[in-house]
C-alpha cells in the first residue's frame, strides 16, 4: 500500500517568514487580530507595523483571537480531500485555545495530527521546519509526529525586550508584571518553558550591548546545541541591531543555517517592536 503524502501546516505564530514557508510549501492558518472594531487575519491583511502605528495613535493594544473549531475544520478539509495526511502545528496550548480547537476539528478527519509546540514564534517554527524536512525525506506522518514531539522539550526559545510597555499593558506575562514598574530600565530575557513565558535574567545597559551578552549566555560553548538551524527573530528592531546580533551569533557558534525572520502580529502585539530572540534546538531536553 502506497504511503499517504504528507503536508506540514502551521498557524501564523510560527514566524518562519515568506521564504521558508514558500520553500517548504507550508500552508499557514492565520490567527485573528482585532483593532478597535475591525478584525484582521495575522499576516494576511495586517502587519506588526500596522499594530505599532495603531498603538502609538490610540495607546490601545490589539486583541488577538484563537482559531475556532469551524475555521480549523475549513482549513484542514481541502488537504484531506486531496489525499494528504496533515501534521499541523499550533502556538502553545498554555497561551491560546487554538491547539484545543484544532484538536477537536481534527477528530472529523482521518490522518490529521495536531502538535502543541508548547512554544511561540520560531520556537514553534523550528519544529515546523524540522517536520517539513522530514516530510521532504519521505517520512510518514505518524513517524514525523513521534520525532517532532520528542523535540518539543529541546527547543531553546528566548527573547530580550527593550521596553516592557506592551507586556505590562497586556498583562500577558505574569512574571514580568510582578517585577514592577521600577524595572522598566532593565532588559528582561524571557524564556519559554513548559509552554509558558517567564523571566530568566535581567540585563542592564544599551539594548545592542545587552543583546551581545545575551547571545553569549544562550549559546555558551554550544556543545549541547544542534547546529543545523538557528533563528534570529525580531519584532521590528533597527537593522544595525539585527546585524550586530547576527554577527555575534556567527562569531559564537558555527551554525549551518542562520535565518533572520520578523515576528508576526500575534507575537509583536504582546512584546512590542524592540524585541529580539535567538532560537535553536538543543541535543537534549531542557530542564
pLDDT digits (tens, 9 = 90+) for 198-208: 888 989 888 99
End-to-end, the C-alpha distance of the chain in Å comes to: 42
- High-pLDDT (> 90) share of the chain, %: 78
pLDDT digits (tens, 9 = 90+) for 8-38: 999 999 999 999 999 999 999 999 999 988 9
Whether residue 140 sits in one domain with residue 177: no
SS3 assignment for 19-58: HHHHHCCCCEECCEEEECCEEEEECCCECHHHHHHHHHHH
pLDDT band at 182 (very low <50, low <70, confident <90, very high): very low
pLDDT score of 179 more than 70: no
Q: Which of 56-60, 160-164, 200-204, 259-263 has the lowest mean pLDDT?
A: 160-164
Q: Is residue 23 part of a domain?
A: yes
* Predicted local distance difference test score (pLDDT) of residue 52: 93
The total number of structural domains that make up the chain: 2
* Predicted local distance difference test score (pLDDT) of residue 229: 98
* CATH code for position 27: 3.40.50.10170
Q: How many helices (H) and strands (E) does the chain have?
A: 11, 14
Higher pLDDT, 181 or 275: 275
The shares of helix, strand and coil residues in the chain, as percent rounded to the nearest 5, are 40, 25, 30
pLDDT digits (tens, 9 = 90+) for 239-284: 999 999 999 999 999 999 999 999 999 889 888 889 999 999 999 9
Q: Radius of gyration of the chain from Cα atoms?
A: 18
Containing structural domain, residue 145: 6-33+64-152
Whether residue 223 sits in one domain with residue 182: yes
* Predicted local distance difference test score (pLDDT) of residue 170: 67
Q: Is residue 196 part of a domain?
A: yes
The CA-atom distances, in angstroms, between 15 and each of 21, 54, 68, 266, 277 are 9, 21, 20, 9, 12
Q: How far apart are CA 163 and CA 184, in angstroms?
A: 7
Whether residue 180 sits in one domain with residue 146: no
Q: How far apart are CA 189 and CA 162, in angstroms?
A: 10
* Predicted local distance difference test score (pLDDT) of residue 186: 80
Whether residue 266 sits in one domain with residue 147: no
Q: What angle do CA 253, 259, 260 make, to 5 degrees?
A: 110
Listed residues 107, 127, 152: the one ending a domain: 152
Amino acid at each position: 500500500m502506497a504511503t499517504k503524502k504528507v503536508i506540514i501546516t502551521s498557524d501564523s505564530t510560527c514566524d518562519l517568514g515568506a521564504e521558508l514557508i514558500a520553500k517548504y510549501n507550508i500552508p499557514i492558518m492565520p490567527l485573528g487580530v482585532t483593532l478597535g472594531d475591525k478584525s484582521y487575519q495575522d499576516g494576511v491583511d495586517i502587519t506588526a507595523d500596522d499594530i505599532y502605528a495603531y498603538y502609538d495613535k490610540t495607546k490601545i493594544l490589539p486583541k488577538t483571537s484563537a482559531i475556532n473549531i469551524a475555521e480549523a475544520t475549513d482549513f484542514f478539509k481541502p488537504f484531506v480531500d486531496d489525499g494528504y495526511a496533515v501534521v499541523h502545528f499550533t502556538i502553545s496550548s498554555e497561551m491560546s485555545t487554538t491547539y484545543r480547537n484544532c484538536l477537536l476539528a481534527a477528530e472529523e478527519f482521518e490522518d490529521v495530527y495536531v502538535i502543541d509546540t508548547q512554544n511561540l514564534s520560531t520556537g514553534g517554527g523550528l519544529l515546523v521546519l524540522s517536520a517539513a524536512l522530514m516530510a521532504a525525506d519521505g517520512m510518514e506522518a505518524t513517524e514525523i509526529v513521534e520525532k517532532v514531539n520528542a523535540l518539543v522539550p529541546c527547543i531553546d526559545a528566548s527573547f530580550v525586550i527593550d521596553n516592557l510597555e506592551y507586556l505590562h499593558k497586556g498583562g500577558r506575562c505574569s512574571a514580568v508584571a510582578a517585577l514592577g514598574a521600577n524595572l522598566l530600565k532593565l532588559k528582561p530575557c524571557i524564556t519559554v518553558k513548559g509552554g509558558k513565558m517567564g523571566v530568566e535574567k535581567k540585563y542592564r545597559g544599551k539594548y545592542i550591548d545587552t543583546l551581545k551578552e545575551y547571545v553569549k549566555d544562550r549559546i555558551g560553548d554550544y556543545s549541547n546545541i544542534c547546529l543545523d538551524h538557528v533563528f534570529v527573530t525580531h519584532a521590528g528592531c533597527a537593522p544595525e541591531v539585527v546585524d550586530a546580533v547576527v554577527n555575534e551569533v556567527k562569531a559564537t557558534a558555527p551554525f549551518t543555517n542562520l535565518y533572520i525572520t520578523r515576528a508576526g502580529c500575534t507575537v509583536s502585539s504582546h512584546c512590542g517592536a524592540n524585541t529580539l530572540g535567538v532560537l535553536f534546538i538543543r541535543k537534549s531536553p531542557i530542564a
